[in-house]
Amino acid sequence: MRICHIITRLIIGGAQENTVLSCEGLHARGHEVTLISGPTTGPEGSLVGRVIQGGYRYIESPPLLRNVNPWHDLWAYVDLCKLLRDLRPDVVHTHSSKAGILGRLAAHRVGAPRIVHTIHGMSFNRTQAALTQWAYRAAERRCGRCTHRFVSVSNAMTDQAVAAGLAERARFTTIYSGMETDTFDPAKYDREAVRRAWGVGAEHVVIGTIARLFRNKGYEDLVPAMAQAAAENALLRFVWIGGGAQRHEYEQQLAALGIRERVILTGLVQPDEIPGLLSGIDVLVHASRWEGLPRAAVQALLMEKPVVSFDIDGAPEVVRQNETGLLVPLGDHNALAAGMVELARDAARRATTGQAGRRLCLPMFDHRRMVEQLDALYQAS
């Protein structure tokens, strides 16, 4: 089949890694794959280099920008229509909010026989103003009428989309977001060497976080919870994996609370560095206010690290209470701190919950399984 994936940009992020792995896998299965993306700029890093080496066609659409702009958006729609007319794909598969809306409208305009959209996270969500939520919901409902099949990265996304009236449940399929699970193997990494590089001793318990240093990625809740947990347990140390525009602001908050010297900030890292860094932590805490399904939590569980997470969206599908980690109410700093302290005090419990997490996630999130399921969905649509 001729398959065209469309995404707004190729930063280092969950939706982008999912899309790149999908394109690579479908290309390997013999399909003619094209990936269209807008320009990739910003402090979040880029996957463009990997895409260029992927063996399939890559096209950049200059006007397909992340921020809403009527002129650029119209230009992007026209450009996508032209590209799709030239490519004549059998399947158009869109990702992310902007590309999901403009890409599906363009695919419908040119008469694409199969239009698929993945919901990595709802484009309208609890972090937005009411008017913004209304506008995105209206746009998603309009696009839903021309979408043949939806892929949800969690059952929770299907439930939310159906409740919002985007489409009937029969058009949704849950396909968990694939990862290169072979690289997430605790036996492959030198845990003690990682910890030595951080200046962390065997007596310390390391609480890790993987998230860009941006608004709504959890730091507004995480920082006060960390301060509370640190006050209760002097052996706690913290590692933040990721970079972003708010780094200086968050560092100032840590300093004001007296815990800056107990926090290691790795800055932006490449995806292939994540497993090794996770080998050095003991617990992952995930405090994002909006997720389809937290990829960081899955990565930690694959590395046998239990997770403390807010009980939102798709998190309960992998963070199972007292089995693979702990779930706490959204925005509850006290509960988030208590979860960290609870797991920090019990090494045996951390080991058993981490092992349970790996057993759960290893078959669910293998990228080869994701590609096989996508291929079958295309064939059946």
- HEC assignment per residue over 38-86: CCCCCCCCCCHHHHHCCCCEEEECCCCCCCCCHHHHHHHHHHHHHHHHH
Task: Tell me the DSSP string of 130-159.
Answer: HHHHHHHHHHHHHHHTT-SEEEESSHHHHH
Nearest partner of 35 among 111, 110, 101, 94, judged by Cα? 94
For every one of its 381 residues, what pLDDT tens digit does the chain have, with 9 covering 90 and above? 999 999 999 998 889 999 999 999 999 999 999 999 999 877 778 999 999 999 999 999 999 998 888 888 999 999 999 999 999 999 999 998 899 999 999 999 999 999 999 999 887 777 778 888 888 888 899 999 999 999 999 999 999 999 999 999 999 999 999 999 999 999 999 999 999 999 999 999 999 999 988 887 889 999 999 999 999 999 999 999 998 888 999 999 999 999 999 999 999 898 899 999 999 999 999 998 888 899 999 999 999 999 999 999 999 999 999 999 999 999 999 999 999 999 999 999 999 999 999 999 999 999 999 999 999 999 997
Q: Which helix (H) or strand (E) segment is 355 a member of?
A: helix 347-364
Which residues contact residue 281 at a Cβ distance below 8 angstroms, ignoring those fewer than 6 apart? 206, 207, 208, 239, 300, 305
The CA radius of gyration of the chain, in Å to the nearest whole number, is 21
Q: Which CATH architecture has domain 2-178+366-380?
A: 3-Layer(aba) Sandwich (3.40)
Residue 75 in tokens: 């230009």
Burial 219-244 (b: 16+ CB within 10 A, else e): bbbbbbbbbbbbeeeeebbbbbbbbb
Q: Is the whole-model pTM more than 0.85?
A: yes
Fold classified for 181-364: Rossmann fold (3.40.50)
Domain boundaries, the chain: 2-178+366-380, 181-364
Nearest partner of 367 among 182, 151, 155, judged by Cα? 182
